[in-house]
Amino acid sequence: MRFLRYILPILLLLPMLTIRAQERSVSIKASATVVDKTELELVTMKDLDIDASTAVNGKVYISAQRDTKSALMIVKGKVDASFRVTFTPLVEIPNSTGKGSLLIKYEMVGSQTDNQSASEPIDAAERTLKISSEGRYYFWLGGQIDISNARPGKYNGNFTIEIEYI
Amino acid sequence: MKSTLRPIVLLLISFILMNGHVLAQRISFGLYAGEGIQLDPMDTELNFNAKQPLLFTTQSVSILKQDPAAAIIRITGRQDQEITASISASPKLVLNSTQINWTVRFAYFNTVVGNPSDAEIKAAAIELPIGFSSVTFPFKKNLSGLPAPPPTPINSNYTSPQGTAYLVIYGEMGPVPSDAEAGYYNGDINIRVEYATN
Protein backbone atom coordinates (compact mmCIF):
# COMPACT_ATOMS: atom_id res chain seq x y z
CA MET A 1 0.00 0.00 0.00
CA ARG A 2 2.85 2.29 0.91
CA PHE A 3 4.51 1.36 -2.37
CA LEU A 4 1.41 2.47 -4.28
CA ARG A 5 1.57 5.92 -2.71
CA TYR A 6 4.93 6.49 -4.37
CA ILE A 7 4.16 4.78 -7.61
CA LEU A 8 0.99 6.79 -8.13
CA PRO A 9 2.70 10.12 -8.95
CA ILE A 10 5.07 8.31 -11.31
CA LEU A 11 2.14 6.72 -13.13
CA LEU A 12 0.52 10.12 -13.43
CA LEU A 13 3.66 11.43 -15.07
CA LEU A 14 3.87 8.71 -17.70
CA PRO A 15 1.44 10.28 -20.20
CA MET A 16 3.67 13.35 -20.22
CA LEU A 17 6.50 11.40 -21.78
CA THR A 18 7.06 12.20 -25.40
CA ILE A 19 5.39 9.89 -27.86
CA ARG A 20 6.66 10.56 -31.32
CA ALA A 21 4.17 10.28 -34.09
CA GLN A 22 5.20 8.71 -37.39
CA GLU A 23 5.50 11.76 -39.54
CA ARG A 24 8.08 13.22 -41.81
CA SER A 25 8.86 16.83 -42.41
CA VAL A 26 11.12 18.77 -44.70
CA SER A 27 11.86 22.44 -45.12
CA ILE A 28 12.65 24.33 -48.26
CA LYS A 29 13.54 27.98 -48.74
CA ALA A 30 11.42 30.66 -50.31
CA SER A 31 13.56 33.43 -51.74
CA ALA A 32 13.58 36.56 -53.84
CA THR A 33 16.41 38.89 -54.73
CA VAL A 34 15.35 42.50 -55.07
CA VAL A 35 17.40 44.68 -57.39
CA ASP A 36 17.92 48.39 -57.04
CA LYS A 37 17.05 50.13 -60.31
CA THR A 38 20.09 52.36 -59.92
CA GLU A 39 22.32 49.30 -60.17
CA LEU A 40 22.34 49.74 -63.95
CA GLU A 41 25.07 52.21 -64.72
CA LEU A 42 26.62 53.53 -67.92
CA VAL A 43 30.15 54.84 -67.64
CA THR A 44 31.99 56.68 -70.44
CA MET A 45 35.57 55.47 -70.51
CA LYS A 46 36.76 57.31 -73.64
CA ASP A 47 35.29 60.08 -75.81
CA LEU A 48 35.03 60.04 -79.59
CA ASP A 49 38.20 61.53 -81.02
CA ILE A 50 37.41 63.36 -84.26
CA ASP A 51 40.44 64.41 -86.29
CA ALA A 52 39.37 66.79 -89.11
CA SER A 53 42.67 66.32 -90.91
CA THR A 54 41.65 62.79 -91.87
CA ALA A 55 38.54 63.99 -93.70
CA VAL A 56 37.88 62.69 -97.16
CA ASN A 57 35.45 64.74 -99.25
CA GLY A 58 34.40 66.64 -96.14
CA LYS A 59 33.67 63.52 -94.11
CA VAL A 60 35.52 61.79 -91.31
CA TYR A 61 34.82 58.14 -90.73
CA ILE A 62 35.61 56.40 -87.44
CA SER A 63 34.92 52.70 -87.39
CA ALA A 64 33.22 51.68 -84.17
CA GLN A 65 34.58 48.15 -84.49
CA ARG A 66 38.15 48.80 -85.61
CA ASP A 67 39.20 52.35 -84.88
CA THR A 68 41.07 53.28 -81.71
CA LYS A 69 39.52 56.77 -81.95
CA SER A 70 36.08 55.36 -81.22
CA ALA A 71 34.40 56.12 -77.89
CA LEU A 72 34.12 53.44 -75.22
CA MET A 73 31.27 53.07 -72.74
CA ILE A 74 30.74 50.33 -70.19
CA VAL A 75 27.43 49.18 -68.76
CA LYS A 76 27.72 47.93 -65.17
CA GLY A 77 24.77 45.95 -63.87
CA LYS A 78 23.37 42.73 -62.55
CA VAL A 79 25.08 39.58 -63.75
CA ASP A 80 23.32 37.88 -66.68
CA ALA A 81 20.53 40.44 -66.69
CA SER A 82 18.88 41.41 -69.95
CA PHE A 83 18.63 45.07 -70.82
CA ARG A 84 17.28 47.18 -73.62
CA VAL A 85 19.30 49.80 -75.46
CA THR A 86 18.30 52.57 -77.84
CA PHE A 87 20.26 55.53 -79.15
CA THR A 88 19.79 58.52 -81.40
CA PRO A 89 21.68 57.68 -84.62
CA LEU A 90 21.79 61.11 -86.27
CA VAL A 91 22.80 64.26 -84.44
CA GLU A 92 23.60 67.79 -85.66
CA ILE A 93 25.99 69.67 -83.43
CA PRO A 94 26.04 73.47 -83.85
CA ASN A 95 29.12 75.64 -83.56
CA SER A 96 28.91 77.22 -80.12
CA THR A 97 31.06 80.19 -81.18
CA GLY A 98 29.67 81.05 -84.59
CA LYS A 99 28.22 79.65 -87.78
CA GLY A 100 28.46 76.11 -89.01
CA SER A 101 27.61 72.65 -87.73
CA LEU A 102 28.72 69.05 -87.69
CA LEU A 103 26.42 66.25 -88.73
CA ILE A 104 27.22 62.94 -87.07
CA LYS A 105 25.78 59.63 -88.14
CA TYR A 106 26.64 57.31 -85.27
CA GLU A 107 27.41 53.64 -85.46
CA MET A 108 27.73 51.45 -82.40
CA VAL A 109 29.01 47.96 -81.65
CA GLY A 110 28.84 45.99 -78.43
CA SER A 111 30.25 42.97 -76.64
CA GLN A 112 30.07 41.22 -73.27
CA THR A 113 33.87 41.26 -73.16
CA ASP A 114 36.41 44.01 -73.64
CA ASN A 115 37.15 42.89 -77.18
CA GLN A 116 36.35 45.60 -79.71
CA SER A 117 37.16 43.59 -82.82
CA ALA A 118 34.85 40.73 -81.73
CA SER A 119 31.91 43.05 -81.05
CA GLU A 120 28.62 42.97 -82.91
CA PRO A 121 26.79 45.87 -84.57
CA ILE A 122 24.01 47.45 -82.52
CA ASP A 123 21.42 49.27 -84.56
CA ALA A 124 19.53 52.25 -83.27
CA ALA A 125 16.25 50.39 -82.98
CA GLU A 126 15.34 48.90 -79.64
CA ARG A 127 17.71 46.05 -78.99
CA THR A 128 17.88 43.44 -76.22
CA LEU A 129 21.31 42.57 -74.85
CA LYS A 130 22.65 40.63 -71.90
CA ILE A 131 25.13 41.68 -69.24
CA SER A 132 28.09 39.32 -68.84
CA SER A 133 28.79 37.01 -65.91
CA GLU A 134 31.24 39.72 -64.74
CA GLY A 135 28.42 42.28 -64.68
CA ARG A 136 29.70 44.24 -67.71
CA TYR A 137 28.73 45.10 -71.24
CA TYR A 138 30.95 47.15 -73.56
CA PHE A 139 29.89 49.63 -76.24
CA TRP A 140 32.15 51.25 -78.82
CA LEU A 141 30.88 54.27 -80.66
CA GLY A 142 32.04 55.59 -84.01
CA GLY A 143 30.37 56.99 -87.07
CA GLN A 144 30.55 59.24 -90.03
CA ILE A 145 31.07 62.94 -89.27
CA ASP A 146 30.16 65.40 -91.99
CA ILE A 147 32.32 68.51 -91.56
CA SER A 148 31.51 70.07 -94.94
CA ASN A 149 29.32 72.70 -93.26
CA ALA A 150 31.65 73.24 -90.36
CA ARG A 151 33.38 76.56 -89.69
CA PRO A 152 36.24 77.26 -87.30
CA GLY A 153 34.87 77.19 -83.75
CA LYS A 154 33.95 74.95 -80.86
CA TYR A 155 31.59 71.99 -81.17
CA ASN A 156 30.28 70.24 -78.12
CA GLY A 157 27.54 67.68 -78.53
CA ASN A 158 25.96 64.79 -76.78
CA PHE A 159 25.36 61.25 -77.78
CA THR A 160 22.02 60.08 -76.41
CA ILE A 161 21.80 56.45 -75.36
CA GLU A 162 19.17 54.84 -73.15
CA ILE A 163 19.50 51.57 -71.32
CA GLU A 164 17.02 49.86 -69.02
CA TYR A 165 16.48 46.45 -67.51
CA ILE A 166 13.85 44.31 -69.09
CA MET B 1 -2.30 12.45 8.25
CA LYS B 2 1.38 12.77 7.60
CA SER B 3 1.40 9.60 5.48
CA THR B 4 -1.55 10.87 3.43
CA LEU B 5 0.14 14.20 2.74
CA ARG B 6 3.39 12.72 1.51
CA PRO B 7 2.15 11.45 -1.91
CA ILE B 8 0.19 14.67 -2.43
CA VAL B 9 3.27 16.78 -1.74
CA LEU B 10 5.30 14.56 -4.01
CA LEU B 11 2.72 15.00 -6.75
CA LEU B 12 2.73 18.77 -6.33
CA ILE B 13 6.52 18.88 -6.48
CA SER B 14 6.40 16.80 -9.65
CA PHE B 15 4.05 19.27 -11.29
CA ILE B 16 6.19 22.21 -10.20
CA LEU B 17 9.26 20.56 -11.71
CA MET B 18 7.39 20.05 -14.96
CA ASN B 19 6.38 23.69 -15.12
CA GLY B 20 7.62 25.20 -18.37
CA HIS B 21 8.33 21.84 -19.98
CA VAL B 22 4.82 20.81 -20.89
CA LEU B 23 4.35 21.01 -24.62
CA ALA B 24 1.33 20.50 -26.80
CA GLN B 25 1.70 17.21 -28.57
CA ARG B 26 0.24 15.68 -31.62
CA ILE B 27 0.14 11.96 -31.01
CA SER B 28 -0.57 9.44 -33.71
CA PHE B 29 -1.84 6.05 -32.67
CA GLY B 30 -2.31 4.95 -36.29
CA LEU B 31 -2.02 1.22 -36.90
CA TYR B 32 0.65 1.78 -39.51
CA ALA B 33 2.61 4.32 -37.53
CA GLY B 34 5.69 2.15 -37.86
CA GLU B 35 5.75 2.22 -41.66
CA GLY B 36 8.14 4.76 -43.09
CA ILE B 37 7.16 7.83 -45.02
CA GLN B 38 9.87 9.42 -47.10
CA LEU B 39 9.91 13.01 -48.29
CA ASP B 40 12.28 14.01 -51.07
CA PRO B 41 12.40 17.67 -52.10
CA MET B 42 12.99 17.65 -55.85
CA ASP B 43 13.52 21.41 -55.50
CA THR B 44 15.12 22.91 -52.44
CA GLU B 45 13.94 26.44 -53.06
CA LEU B 46 10.87 28.32 -54.22
CA ASN B 47 12.78 31.05 -56.01
CA PHE B 48 10.69 33.97 -57.21
CA ASN B 49 13.57 35.16 -59.39
CA ALA B 50 13.16 31.97 -61.39
CA LYS B 51 9.85 33.45 -62.54
CA GLN B 52 11.04 37.04 -62.79
CA PRO B 53 14.84 37.39 -62.86
CA LEU B 54 14.87 41.09 -62.09
CA LEU B 55 12.61 42.10 -59.28
CA PHE B 56 12.33 45.79 -58.42
CA THR B 57 10.59 47.69 -55.68
CA THR B 58 6.78 48.00 -55.90
CA GLN B 59 6.61 44.85 -58.06
CA SER B 60 4.82 41.57 -57.27
CA VAL B 61 5.48 38.08 -58.56
CA SER B 62 3.19 35.06 -58.73
CA ILE B 63 4.52 31.57 -59.26
CA LEU B 64 1.64 29.51 -60.57
CA LYS B 65 1.16 25.79 -60.00
CA GLN B 66 2.19 24.90 -63.54
CA ASP B 67 5.19 27.24 -63.68
CA PRO B 68 8.65 25.69 -63.97
CA ALA B 69 9.56 27.73 -60.88
CA ALA B 70 7.04 25.85 -58.69
CA ALA B 71 8.78 23.41 -56.32
CA ILE B 72 7.99 19.68 -56.13
CA ILE B 73 8.21 17.38 -53.11
CA ARG B 74 7.99 13.61 -53.66
CA ILE B 75 6.32 11.45 -50.99
CA THR B 76 6.75 7.69 -50.78
CA GLY B 77 5.08 5.35 -48.34
CA ARG B 78 2.42 2.66 -47.92
CA GLN B 79 0.29 2.74 -51.03
CA ASP B 80 -2.87 1.54 -49.26
CA GLN B 81 -2.91 4.44 -46.80
CA GLU B 82 -4.26 7.94 -46.69
CA ILE B 83 -1.87 10.69 -45.81
CA THR B 84 -2.26 14.14 -44.35
CA ALA B 85 0.04 16.81 -45.72
CA SER B 86 0.38 20.09 -43.85
CA ILE B 87 2.31 23.17 -44.75
CA SER B 88 3.44 26.17 -42.75
CA ALA B 89 5.67 29.02 -43.75
CA SER B 90 7.44 32.11 -42.47
CA PRO B 91 4.92 34.94 -42.45
CA LYS B 92 7.24 37.27 -44.40
CA LEU B 93 10.28 37.13 -46.63
CA VAL B 94 12.93 38.97 -44.67
CA LEU B 95 16.18 40.84 -45.27
CA ASN B 96 17.51 42.62 -42.21
CA SER B 97 14.68 44.90 -41.11
CA THR B 98 12.76 44.83 -44.40
CA GLN B 99 9.90 42.42 -44.93
CA ILE B 100 7.93 41.42 -48.00
CA ASN B 101 4.46 39.93 -47.79
CA TRP B 102 3.96 36.58 -49.42
CA THR B 103 1.58 33.65 -49.54
CA VAL B 104 2.47 30.02 -50.01
CA ARG B 105 0.08 27.61 -51.70
CA PHE B 106 0.27 23.95 -52.53
CA ALA B 107 -1.32 21.25 -54.62
CA TYR B 108 -1.17 17.46 -54.50
CA PHE B 109 -0.87 14.78 -57.16
CA ASN B 110 -1.91 11.23 -56.29
CA THR B 111 -2.74 9.71 -59.65
CA VAL B 112 0.79 8.68 -60.44
CA VAL B 113 1.25 6.36 -63.37
CA GLY B 114 4.78 5.46 -64.36
CA ASN B 115 7.37 8.14 -63.91
CA PRO B 116 5.67 11.47 -64.60
CA SER B 117 7.62 14.54 -65.67
CA ASP B 118 7.60 17.75 -63.64
CA ALA B 119 5.24 19.32 -66.16
CA GLU B 120 2.82 16.37 -65.93
CA ILE B 121 2.85 16.48 -62.13
CA LYS B 122 2.15 20.21 -62.08
CA ALA B 123 -0.56 20.04 -64.71
CA ALA B 124 -2.50 17.28 -62.94
CA ALA B 125 -1.95 18.41 -59.32
CA ILE B 126 -5.08 19.43 -57.45
CA GLU B 127 -4.90 22.91 -55.95
CA LEU B 128 -6.03 23.68 -52.44
CA PRO B 129 -8.11 26.82 -52.04
CA ILE B 130 -6.30 29.87 -50.66
CA GLY B 131 -6.06 29.71 -46.89
CA PHE B 132 -5.97 25.92 -46.61
CA SER B 133 -2.80 24.58 -45.04
CA SER B 134 -3.63 20.90 -44.69
CA VAL B 135 -5.15 18.16 -46.83
CA THR B 136 -5.82 14.44 -46.47
CA PHE B 137 -5.84 12.25 -49.56
CA PRO B 138 -5.30 8.59 -50.45
CA PHE B 139 -1.76 7.77 -51.34
CA LYS B 140 -2.88 6.34 -54.59
CA LYS B 141 -6.21 7.44 -55.93
CA ASN B 142 -8.37 4.68 -57.35
CA LEU B 143 -8.79 5.83 -60.94
CA SER B 144 -11.98 3.78 -61.32
CA GLY B 145 -13.67 6.10 -58.85
CA LEU B 146 -14.51 3.26 -56.47
CA PRO B 147 -13.35 3.43 -52.87
CA ALA B 148 -10.03 1.75 -52.28
CA PRO B 149 -10.12 -1.71 -50.66
CA PRO B 150 -9.24 -1.83 -46.96
CA PRO B 151 -5.53 -2.18 -46.15
CA THR B 152 -4.14 -5.68 -45.84
CA PRO B 153 -3.72 -6.48 -42.16
CA ILE B 154 -0.16 -6.39 -40.96
CA ASN B 155 1.53 -9.77 -40.73
CA SER B 156 5.07 -10.94 -40.92
CA ASN B 157 4.70 -12.27 -44.46
CA TYR B 158 3.25 -9.14 -45.96
CA THR B 159 5.08 -6.09 -47.20
CA SER B 160 2.91 -3.24 -48.35
CA PRO B 161 3.52 -1.96 -51.87
CA GLN B 162 5.06 1.48 -51.88
CA GLY B 163 3.21 4.37 -53.43
CA THR B 164 4.33 7.76 -54.62
CA ALA B 165 2.53 11.08 -54.46
CA TYR B 166 3.73 14.63 -55.03
CA LEU B 167 3.20 18.06 -53.55
CA VAL B 168 3.62 21.15 -55.69
CA ILE B 169 4.58 24.32 -53.80
CA TYR B 170 3.97 27.75 -55.31
CA GLY B 171 2.77 31.18 -54.23
CA GLU B 172 2.74 34.92 -54.56
CA MET B 173 4.95 37.64 -53.16
CA GLY B 174 4.81 41.39 -53.06
CA PRO B 175 4.40 44.12 -53.71
CA VAL B 176 7.97 44.85 -52.69
CA PRO B 177 7.89 47.97 -50.49
CA SER B 178 9.04 51.09 -52.31
CA ASP B 179 11.79 51.63 -49.76
CA ALA B 180 12.89 47.99 -49.71
CA GLU B 181 16.58 47.31 -49.41
CA ALA B 182 18.12 45.56 -52.43
CA GLY B 183 19.30 42.03 -51.73
CA TYR B 184 18.33 38.46 -50.94
CA TYR B 185 15.06 37.96 -49.05
CA ASN B 186 14.12 34.55 -47.72
CA GLY B 187 11.78 32.55 -45.55
CA ASP B 188 11.11 28.90 -44.74
CA ILE B 189 8.42 26.54 -45.95
CA ASN B 190 7.86 23.55 -43.69
CA ILE B 191 6.07 20.52 -45.08
CA ARG B 192 4.86 17.74 -42.79
CA VAL B 193 3.34 14.48 -43.95
CA GLU B 194 1.86 11.68 -41.86
CA TYR B 195 -0.52 8.81 -42.28
CA ALA B 196 -4.07 9.93 -41.69
CA THR B 197 -5.74 8.55 -38.60
CA ASN B 198 -9.49 8.28 -38.58
Domain boundaries defined on chain B: 37-195
Interface test with B, best of A23, A38, A78, A128 (most B CBs within 10 A): A23
Q: Which of residues 117-136 of B touch A (CB under 8 A)?
A: none
Whether A131 and A60 have beta carbons less than 8 Å apart is answered as no
CB within 8 Å: B61 and A31: no
pLDDT of the residue at B21: 46
Residues making up chain A, counted from first to last: 166
For residue A9, say if its preceding peptide bond is cis, omega within 30 degrees of 0.
Answer: no
d(CA A32, CA B53): 9
- pLDDT value of residue A5: 61
The answer to whether B46 and B170 are in contact (CB under 8 A) is yes
Tell how far CA A121 is from the center of its chain. Answer: 17
The beta-carbon neighbor of A28 closest among B46, B55, B192 is B46
User: What pLDDT, on the 0 to 100 scale, is given for residue B26?
Assistant: 45
Question: Do the Cβ atoms of A34 and B186 come within 8 Å?
Answer: no
Whole-number pLDDT of residue B83: 92
Whole-number pLDDT of residue B165: 94
Q: For chain B, what percent of residues have pLDDT higher than 70?
A: 75
Name the band, by pLDDT with cuts 50, 70 and 90, for residue B150: low
The overall average pLDDT reported for chain B is 83
Q: What is the pLDDT of residues B21-80, one digit of tens each?
A: 444 444 444 444 445 899 999 999 999 999 988 888 889 999 999 999 999 999 999 888
> What φ, ψ does residue B183 adopt, rounded to 5°?
145, -165
CB contact under 8 Å between B180 and A81, yes or no, is no
Inform me whether the pLDDT recorded for A107 exceeds 80.
Answer: yes
B chain contacts of residue A28, beta-carbon cutoff 8 Å: 41, 43-46, 71, 73, 169, 188-189, 191
For testing contact with chain B, the best of A2, A22, A34, A78 (most B CBs within 10 A): A34
pTM reported for the whole predicted model? 0.62
What local confidence, expressed as pLDDT, does residue A138 receive? 96
A19 CB neighbours in chain B (<8 A) are: 25, 27
Q: Which domains does chain A have, with CATH numbers?
A: 45-165 (2.60.40)
More confident residue, B2 or A108: A108
Q: Return the pLDDT at B31.
A: 45
- Of A16, A28, A33, nearest to B183 by CB-CB distance is A33
Residues of B in contact with A13 (CB under 8 A): 14, 18
Residue A79 neighbours by CB distance under 10 Å: 11
**Residue range A104-121: mean pLDDT, rounded:** 93
Q: Under an 8 A CB cutoff, do B173 and A12 touch?
A: no
Whether B47 and A32 lie within 8 Å, measured CB to CB: yes
A31·B191 Cβ contact <8 A:
no
Tell which residue, A128, A40, A162, A31, has the closest CA to residue B52: A31
pLDDT at B94: 96
Contact B194 A22 (CB under 8 A): yes
Q: Which CATH number fits domain B37-195: 1.20.120, 3.40.50, 2.60.40, 1.10.3470?
A: 2.60.40
Q: Do A5 and B104 touch (CB under 8 A)?
A: no
d(CA A27, CA A25): 7
Task: Give A39's DSSP letter.
Answer: G
Determine the pLDDT at residue A102. 87
Provide long-range contacts, Cβ within 8 A and 24+ apart, for B5-9: B6/A5, B7/A5, B7/A6, B7/A8, B7/A9
Closest-CA distance, B9 to chain A, in angstroms, reads: 10
Q: Is the CB of residue B195 less than 8 Å away from at least one CB of chain A? A: yes
pLDDT, mean of residues B176-193: 92
**% of chain B with per-residue pLDDT over 90:** 53
Return d(Cα A141, Cα A107) in angstroms, integer: 6
β-strand pairing of B38-41 with B134-138: unpaired
Q: Touching check for B7 and chain A: CB below 8 Å?
A: yes
Q: ipTM, 2 decimals?
A: 0.75
What pLDDT is stored for residue B8 in this prediction?
Answer: 73
